[in-house]
A and B are shown apart, each in its own frame.
Chain A
């Protein structure tokens, strides 16, 4: 298992500014992920954070908007850049083990972002 701490838990930001969300895991993990949950919507995978290399982004998400760092096997950050009200969402950090039927995923408590 894994215990994940996310900071901040919530924030209210002005449009045009940027917010960096931190994710700390209590053990070394290979796979770390960032999800977005827009109001009333599914969780959508933004990117996979790779240690020592650039993140892998899903369709519809770009590095300029959501730069990600992964300096070691226990920590990652997601920045939401040049924010607009449409970025108001819950952002979740996740770590994963295994593939397919062996998939196990653990989640942080999320960061609730409101852009005004």
Chain B
């Protein structure tokens, strides 16, 4: 079935370091891809999305590019801040569906 695989955490970085969180997917068709973020004590929030191959989603300095050839949607940020400390979830949804399929989440800890 359709699935999402994320790199295991936690990922610990110093402030201003470069961030990559890997995400790959398996899908029978052409999904839309999402990154959600969960800050401590809060619900999941949509961070960015991409709906077709080669699309780049971006928000708050984060970027991810939909790579059909490698079935990947890696999350990147050039310079992380302490306030970026959170759990990040990669997810997909198939066309004509409302059911989000999530990866296991990656915890990011940014130290001052």
| B-binding residues in A (CB < 8 A) | 4, 31, 37, 40-45, 92, 94, 96, 98-101, 103-110
Contacts and interface: CB of A to CB of B under 8 A. Distances in A.
A100 B101 CA distance: 12
A107 B43 contact: yes
Given A92-B43, A108-B43, A98 B98 contact: yes
B98 A109 contact: no
A42 B106 CA distance: 10
Contacts of A104: 46
A56 B43 CA distance: 23
A31 B4 contact: no
A100 B97 contact: yes
Interface of B: 4, 32, 34, 36, 41-46, 49, 51-52, 89, 93-105
Nearest to B94: A100
A96 B43 CA distance: 14
B17 to A, nearest CB: 25
A51 to B, nearest CB: 15
Which 6 pairs from chain A and chain B are nearest by CB?
A107-B43, A101-B51, A107-B44, A100-B95, A43-B102, A101-B32
A100 B103 contact: no
A41 B94 CA distance: 21
B103 A42 contact: yes
Contacts of A100: 32, 51, 93-97
Contacts of A103: 32, 34, 93, 97-98, 100
From A4, A45, A103, A106, residue with most partner B Cβ within 10 Å: A103
Nearest to B43: A107
Given A101-B51, A107-B43, A109-B42, A96 B98 contact: yes
Contacts of B105: 37, 42
Contact of B89 (A43, A101, A106, A110): A43
A92 B95 CA distance: 23
Contacts of A45: 99-100
